[in-house]
Amino acid sequence: MKNRTLYLGLIIIAALLVVMAAAPQIAPHDPEAQDLYHVLEGPSEKHLLGTDDVGRDLLSRVITGTRPTLLIGVLSTLFSGIIGVGLGLVAGYKGGAIDMAVMRVTDAFMSLPVLVVTLALVAIFGSGMQSVIIAITLVNWTGFARIVRGEVLHTREFVYVEAARAMGASGLRIIFYHLLPNVMGPIIVTASIAIGGNIMIESAVSFLGLGAQPPLSTWGNELRIGYAYLEVVPLFSIAPGLLITLTVLAFNFIGDGLRDAFDPRISQTFNKSKEK
Amino acid sequence: MLLQVSNLRTYFKTRSSLVKAVDDISFELDQGQTLSIVGESGSGKTAAALSLMRLIPGSAQLSGKIMFEDQDIVTMGRKALFGLRGDKIAMVFQDPMTALNPVLTIGEQLIEPYLIHRKMNRKQAFNLGIALLQKVRIQDAEKRMHCYPHELSGGMRQRVMIAMAIALHPPLIIADEPTTALDVSIAAELLELLKSITREQGSALLLITHNLGIVARYADKVMIMYAGKIVEKASKVNLYQKPQHPYTQGLLASVPKISADTGKKLTPIPGNPPDLATPPKGCAFYDRCPFKITQCGRNVPKLTKLNDDHEVACFAKEAGR
């Protein structure tokens, strides 16, 4: 089968989506129910992954943590995608001074460190999901802008763009109707890799205690709290850690697989080198 | 008079020089008339055509007058210009392989003129699109509407381009080497089609080509361009029967004819056209001309009327050779 990694990634993400959607039904316990007589216990028949520092069922916590974790990853990618793609399209199509201005702003934003921006936003808006999403968006749109601009610079030279202009199409129409579908491939690839990356950033931010606040559970949160009890109940942080790794890996698989699928040159050279 | 171009100049500024792609050309076109601009690569014929719709890059300098239906396109505002493109003047491009967007279906592209200029809904436009495809004689029109460009042959794609151009019955259609990328038999078929549709709709046709032998024969009037200038302008009959400019004569002598003696060799024109960034002082054809006189190297000849249907820019001609 061609492109095995793509399918593997898709299967993992599909499974995660099922877990996310069915979380209330799958979770064996109320993820917020505390049981102070059974704190920091190892795996048992009642608690498959054990319990946390206030006696909540870890498995249930991890399962319900899927939703906010994926939500942050997807939403921050969506927002940064909208901003980055929009600016990249305009900069690439218009060229000249507009291109110059947009790209310098992009450079400036690229130099922002995510964690510092998050700190600043947390100071302004308070900690929570919104601050994390805004911070990631602020830094991450630049990748989309650069890739889209580069693609458009190449695409706008095709005769069909001139033909569209000769037909009386406005700049906006050419950008969204003619150019955007042609650069969709790289955008999708970038987005699927970005979701994985953003989940990583979320975990890092949560690990510092700046992300979503308890009692809401995200994988990064679990990881942070579990870290303190690593020697007592290793699974407390290993379980969410493994899930983060698996998810990021799955999104990267999808991104790489799609890149191969979209770019025939890569798969051809790959096949040729295999034949040798 | 549908179109009256006077003293049109299109200059491109490069880092080191000024390229005079179109240098002071004037011509007229009546309703329903077919005018052919003939010239080799780099003669400025495409630049002239693009200038008519102001499709040239912003860095280019455009001057002169392009009166189209009593409006000057050179000074026209953006809004009027966008309304004009596609609706009043439509263009058929040279290479049908690249002139259609590969990620949109034929239908989606074909109905664009209706969506842009007539604000129709998709359903109405789609039905008109099918009729358009039938008009350019594409079989299974409805099925083809859902095809992507790569599923169609070159000839079919050019038919689609023609269908797009005639969609709104524009008074003027510009066809920039519409058959260069196609093989000869399909080319003839498409030219006939283009000609019959424009006649039926009453559209004027500006046919740009380097093919004096075949394509230009579909025109009423023919204009020969060389190095950004018009060197000869005549009715078709006059041009083919009594070519005056040495360049035109050279072009005709280098085209194979079925009627000619089979043993006779074709005569090429020696040399190459001048570099437009460093144009010669006198006549641009000077270096290659077999009839040159001293004046030719010093001054640039102007178009002079020989009779009502014939103008030529040549000192040697004026001097009577």
Neighboring chain B residues of A158 at a CB cutoff of 8 Å: 98, 101
C-alpha B116/C-alpha B83 separation (Å) is 9
Q: Decide if A41 is inside a domain.
A: no
Whether A30 maps to a domain, the answer reads no
CA–CA dist B293, B15 (Å, integer): 35
* Distance to chain B for A160, nearest Cα, Å: 4
Closest CA of chain B from A155, distance in Å:
10
Domain residues for A203?
A: 69-275
- Quote the minimal CA–CA distance from B236 to chain A in Å: 29
CB pair distance less than 8 Å for A166 and B113: no
The alpha carbon of residue B55 is apart from the nearest alpha carbon of chain A, in Å, by: 7
Closest CA–CA distance from residue B56 to any residue of chain A (Å):
10
Please identify which residue in the block is written with the tokens 């407390």: A236
Q: Which of B112, B117, B132, B162 is the mutation pick for testing A, counting most A CBs within 10 A?
A: B112
> CB–CB of B104 and A178 under 8 A?
yes
Q: What does chain A come to in residues?
A: 276
What is the reported pLDDT for A254? Answer: 92
Q: Is there a contact between A164 and B112 if contact means CB atoms under 8 Å apart?
A: yes
Average pLDDT over residues A128-148: 91
Q: Which of A18-32, A134-148, B118-132, B197-211 has the lowest mean pLDDT?
A: A18-32
Q: Where are the domains of chain B?
A: 97-169
- Give per-residue pLDDT as tens, B91-115: 999 888 889 999 999 999 999 999 9
Query: Are the Cβ atoms of A181 and B104 closer than 8 angstroms?
Result: yes
Q: Which residue stretches of chain A are H helix?
A: 4-21, 23-26, 58-94, 96-110, 114-125, 129-155, 159-166, 171-173, 184-207, 219-227, 235-262, 264-275
Q: Which one has a higher pLDDT value, A205 or B134?
A: B134
Token couple for A102: 């947009």
Does A221 reside within a domain?
A: yes
Tell me if A50 is assigned to some domain.
no
Smallest CA–CA distance from B59 into chain A, residue: A96
**Which candidate from B82, B93, B103 shows the least CB-CB separation from A168?**
B82
Is A87 within the bounds of a domain? yes
Contact B101 A164 (CB under 8 A): yes
Query: Which of A159, A162, A167 has the CB atom closest to B113's CB atom?
Result: A167
In a domain, A17, yes or no: no
Q: What is the edge-to-edge ordering of all strands in the sheet holding B3-13?
A: B18-29, B3-13, B61-68, B71-72
A158 falls within a domain: yes
Condensed to tens digits (0 to 9), the pLDDT of residues A61-82 reads: 889 889 989 999 999 999 999 9
Q: Does B95 touch chain A (CB under 8 A)?
A: yes
Partners of A159 on chain B (C-beta within 8 Å) are: 93-95, 98-99
Q: Which residues of A touch B100 (CB under 8 A)?
A: 160, 163
Chain B closest-CA separation from residue A167 CA (Å): 4
> Considering the domain boundaries, does residue A126 fall inside one?
yes
Which residues in chain B have Cβ-Cβ distances shorter than 8 Å to A155?
none
Cβ of B93 under 8 Å from any chain A Cβ?
A: yes
Kindly report, residue by residue over A81-128, the tens digit of the pLDDT.
999 999 999 999 998 899 999 999 999 999 988 888 888 888 888 878
Say whether B86 and A166 touch across the interface (CB within 8 A): yes
Structural domains counted in chain A: 1
Q: Which residues of A touch B98 (CB under 8 A)?
A: 158-160
pLDDT: is A139 or A267 the higher one?
A139
Annotate B267-302 with DSSP letters as a single string: -PPPS-PPPTTS--SS-TTGGG-TT--GGGGTS---
Question: ipTM score of the complex?
Answer: 0.87
**Rounded Cα–Cα distance for residues A172 and B130 (Å):** 27
Which one of A158, A166, A184 has the shortest CB-CB distance to B55? A166
Q: How far apart are CA A202 and CA A214, in angstroms?
A: 15
CATH number for A102: 1.10.3720.10
Q: Chain A within 8 Å of B116 (Cβ-Cβ)?
A: yes
Residue A215 has pLDDT above 80, yes or no: no
**For the residues of B184-234, what is the DSSP string, one character each?**
HHHHHHHHHHHHHHHHHHT-EEEEEES-TTTGGGG-SEEEEEETTEEEEEE
The minimum CA-CA distance between B87 and chain A, rounded to whole Å, is 7
Pick from A167, A178, A180, A183 the residue to mutate for testing the B interface (most B CBs within 10 Å): A167
Contact state of B116 with A168 under an 8 Å Cβ cutoff: yes
Higher pLDDT, B22 or B212: B22
Total-model pTM: 0.83
Which residues, at least 6 apart from A213, have a Cβ–Cβ distance to it below 8 Å?
A127, A128
pLDDT tens-digit map of A240-275: 999 999 999 999 999 988 888 876 565 554 454 444
